[in-house]
Amino acid sequence: MAPGPRGPWNMQSSEFRRSRAQERQPIAKQPGRRRSSRRKLYRRALRKLGTLLLNLLGPPILYLLGKSWRVTRRGFDHYQQLEDGEHAFLAAVWHGRTLTFAPLHKHRGLNILVSPSGDGLMVGGLLRKLGYGVIWGSSNTRGAGALMEIRSRLSTGDSVVIMLDGPRGPRHSTHTGVAWLARETGLPILAAAVSCDRGWHLRSWDRLLIPKIGARLIITYAEPIHVAANTSKEGLSEVAERIGARIMQDEEEGFRILGVEQDW
């Protein structure tokens, strides 16, 4: 038989035979991708377990911890005036202080805006068991569902707590969500700061603080801030930055009084 035509893919060529052999080989397994899938499943299972344990053990543990804390409140009259007033108010706190405030203001008609993320789902159930209302959303959203829920709670006299740097930071950043809500509703903003002499910090972006047994805390409530109805977008950013700066200033003063270094 005459040899076939010359060329790179001549059926008699070695290149062609190698190509056909490679096609017949089974697809090579990819251990890296398989390990990645296992890690995702492991993290998902760990998160579910953490949520279960947090909802089960978190409330009594936080209650006992909170009872042992030695708390000094500065500017508490600002909080009491708003709480005793005819209208609701908005509170602004750092995301990393959520669990510190939780046992100190439970069952007082407060609602907390919580991100529907993995971490938010873990904390949301705990907050509900401590007597807080939970609104699923975030401080930088204009989602119709969350906004309608916030307005509904505020209209009934229930105040709403918003994380100034939530839901995903960066830590101590200043989102304009709380300033925007204050402009739209005409309600005041109460900025609250916390300083602690010793506590645990989680390895999360917000460095979530859990004060230790017997810790000394200084909670500072700033004078309420009102946002005018004609405030511009740039003005909202300035309001948010001013709130963040005031919280940082109050925390610095609290740490100075406690005689310890700042935790950020």
pLDDT band for 91, please (50, 70, 90 cuts).
very high
Q: Please tell me which residue, 3 or 194, carries the higher pLDDT value.
A: 194
pLDDT band for 6, please (50, 70, 90 cuts).
very low
Report pLDDT for 52. Answer: 66
pLDDT digits (tens, 9 = 90+) for 146-166: 778 888 888 888 899 998 997
Question: How crowded is residue 189: how many other Cβ atoms within 10 Å of its Cβ?
Answer: 24
Helix axes 177-185, 144-155, angle to 10 degrees: 50
pLDDT band for 30, please (50, 70, 90 cuts).
low
Number of H helices, E strands in the chain: 8, 9
What CA–CA distances, in Å, run from 233 to 1, 177, 236, 247, 251? 84, 11, 5, 22, 27
**Token duo for residue 178:** 């709380």
| pTM across the whole model | 0.76
pLDDT digits (tens, 9 = 90+) for 189-234: 999 999 999 999 988 888 989 999 999 999 999 999 999 999 999 9
To the nearest 10°, report the CA torsion of 264, 104, 212, 214: 120
What CA–CA distances, in Å, run from 221 to 17, 77, 96, 234? 79, 8, 17, 25
pLDDT digits (tens, 9 = 90+) for 99-150: 898 888 888 889 988 876 666 666 777 888 888 888 887 655 455 567 788 8
pLDDT band for 3, please (50, 70, 90 cuts).
very low
Q: Hey, where are the domains in the chain?
A: 43-258
What is the share, in percent, of the chain residues with pLDDT greater than 70? 77
Ordered DSSP codes for 19-41:
HHHHHHSPPPP-HHHHHHHHHHH
Q: Does the structure show a pLDDT above 50 at 5? A: no
Report pLDDT for 219. Answer: 97
Q: Does the structure show a pLDDT above 90 at 49? A: no
Report pLDDT for 264. Answer: 84
Q: Please tell me which residue, 112 or 249, carries the higher pLDDT value.
A: 249
Report pLDDT for 148. Answer: 80
